[in-house]
Amino acid sequence: MLRLRVPDGQARRRARPRPRRRAGAQRPRTRRHHAHRPGRARPGTRRRPARPGPRRRAAPAARRRPARAAGRRRQHHPRRGVRRGVGYGIGIKNVGFSEGFDDYSTARVRLEVVGGEPVAVVHTAAAEVGQGLVTIQAQIVRTELGVEQVTVATADTTVGSAGSSSASRQTYVTGGAVKAACEAVRAAVLRRAGRDDVTLRGGRLVTEGGEVVADLVDVLGDRPIEETVEWRHKPTHPLDPRTGQGDAHVQYAFAAHRATVDVDVELGLVRVVEIATAQDVGRALHPQSVRGQIAGGTAQGLGLAVMEEIQVVDGLIRNPSFTDYLIPTILDVPPMHIDVLELGDPSAPYGLRGVGEPPTISSTPAIVAAIRAATGLALNRVPVRPEHLTGT
């Protein structure tokens, strides 16, 4: 069984050699020459970023993770037909709508006194689909207005559009709209108080030195303040039809994965033993949700790599239920080690980056690369099925 970490040359000589690869099989390697470097023009544009990009920082972070599963699992392989492989995958994903699309969201924030304390209500049309957007909206309002009681109204389009919950964009775009609406409310509060040298904190107007100027309840009285803001990120532009160049995307997200697999080459069975991943999230507004998104996206990539496939025969779907269309369960997901990199985007609200989709891009190729490393086979499709490994 190959070791993942070889301490010296003697141990390296003792390790079993890699299996011989078939003719034409591509040697697994991390394609570092494709990585985004500092000052390098972004894909699809000749424009260089205002600040250095991640430049391979996600990939080294994933590679530096100790491969704990390597030694621990060796004793469970009494059969010589089981081989271990390690593979890497690196992904880049645009965030938001692109190529000049008018990408915006609308938010309404109302600040009033209820039961003797300041209460904020935030209303958008953004769809919560499990990504944690309701929590983020309330978190932004608490941060910007300094109040504890926040109600997130049921999403609907009476307030305006928020666009779709796709393209890893809602925290960026709707979060930006909520932040802008809160800033408008705060400005109105300060105008009413006749002060421009204070901030809102703990339900009070407070100076930088911590001096309490007034209670927010007294400033509001029985006159609520409500602001509605339609917010847009910086503009994008269509690609030039002749050159294929252009400033088409507002932001990129970066992720890297390392996968360790055990492959029974006689039965064609694959078990993903461990996954390590690193992702640049800009700034983690809610760290627990961020890690959950990364873990969930990685699990989806695992499903694509070795399990999920719609079977179509003569135009008919043969596995139309989750009895036959298999998705990963908690028993299929291996130990997962996540490094969250916070390399803020200066043009985004709070420096954040979209998080949800990037893990699905690099996790699948990492797992397939690990299977290639274990078997020496030039696998070129997913999911990898037993017959692809046994040749039957």
Q: What does the pLDDT look like over 277-311, one tens digit per residue?
A: 999 999 999 999 999 999 999 999 999 999 999 99
3-state SS, one letter per residue, for the chain: CCCCCCCCHHHHHHCCCCCCCCCCCCCCCCCHHHCCCCCCCCCCCCCCCCCCCCCCCHHHHHHHCCCHHHHHHHCCCCCCCEEEEEEEEEEEEEECCCCCCCCEEEEEEEEEEECCEEEEEEEECCCCCCCCHHHHHHHHHHHHHCCCEEEECCCCCCCCCCCCCCCCCHHHHHHHHHHHHHHHHHHHHHHHHCCCCEEEECCEEEECCCCEEEEHHHHHCCCCEEEEEEEECCCCCCCCCCCCCCCCCCEEEEEEEEEEEEEECCCCEEEEEEEEEEEECCCCCCHHHHHHHHHHHHHHHHHHHHCCCCCEECCEECCCCCCCCCCCCCCCCCCEEEEEECCCCCCCHHHCCCCCCHHHHHHHHHHHHHHHHHHCCCCCCCCCCHHHHHCC
Q: How many other C-beta atoms lie within 10 A of the C-beta of residue 316?
A: 8
- Domain edge (last residue) among 232, 262, 279: 232
> What does the mean pLDDT of the chain come to?
87
Q: Note whether 89 and 114 are same-domain residues.
A: no
Residue 228 lies in a domain: yes
Q: With contact defined as beta carbons under 8 Å apart, do 178 and 141 qualify?
A: yes
Given the DSSP bridges, would you call strands 212-215 and 204-207 parallel, antiparallel or unpaired?
antiparallel
Q: Note whether 91 and 109 are same-domain residues.
A: no
Residue 374 lies in a domain: yes
Q: With contact defined as beta carbons under 8 Å apart, do 108 and 125 qualify?
A: no
Q: Which residue has the tokens 């190959």?
A: 2
Angle between helices 287-306 and 358-375 (to 10 degrees): 40
Residue 28 has pLDDT above 60, yes or no: no
Write the CB contacts of 295 (distance below 8 Å, at least 6 apart in sequence). Answer: 333, 336, 338, 359
Q: Note whether 289 and 210 are same-domain residues.
A: no
Q: Note whether 260 and 386 are same-domain residues.
A: yes
Residue 240 lies in a domain: no
Q: Note whether 89 and 113 are same-domain residues.
A: no
Residue 62 lies in a domain: yes
Per-residue pLDDT at 262: 97
Domain count, the chain: 2
- Integer Cα distance of 129 and 126 in angstroms: 9
Domain region containing 154: 104-232
Residue 47 has pLDDT above 70, yes or no: no
- Domain edge (last residue) among 202, 232, 262: 232
Q: Note whether 145 and 163 are same-domain residues.
A: yes
Per-residue pLDDT at 17: 43
Q: Note whether 78 and 164 are same-domain residues.
A: no
The band of 80, judged by pLDDT with boundaries at 50, 70 and 90, is confident
The band of 23, judged by pLDDT with boundaries at 50, 70 and 90, is very low
Structure tokens at 380: 């070129």
Q: Note whether 192 and 299 are same-domain residues.
A: no
Q: Note whether 308 and 210 are same-domain residues.
A: no
Q: With contact defined as beta carbons under 8 Å apart, do 236 and 250 qualify?
A: yes
Residue 1 lies in a domain: no
More confident of the two residues 67 and 270: 270
CATH number at residue 181: 3.30.365.10
Q: Note whether 120 and 85 are same-domain residues.
A: no
Q: With contact defined as beta carbons under 8 Å apart, do 137 and 195 qualify?
A: no
Residue 71 has pLDDT above 80, yes or no: no
Residue 78 lies in a domain: yes
Q: Note whether 262 and 383 are same-domain residues.
A: yes
Residue 194 lies in a domain: yes
Residue 156 lies in a domain: yes
- Domain edge (last residue) among 232, 256, 289: 232
Q: Note whether 124 and 185 are same-domain residues.
A: yes
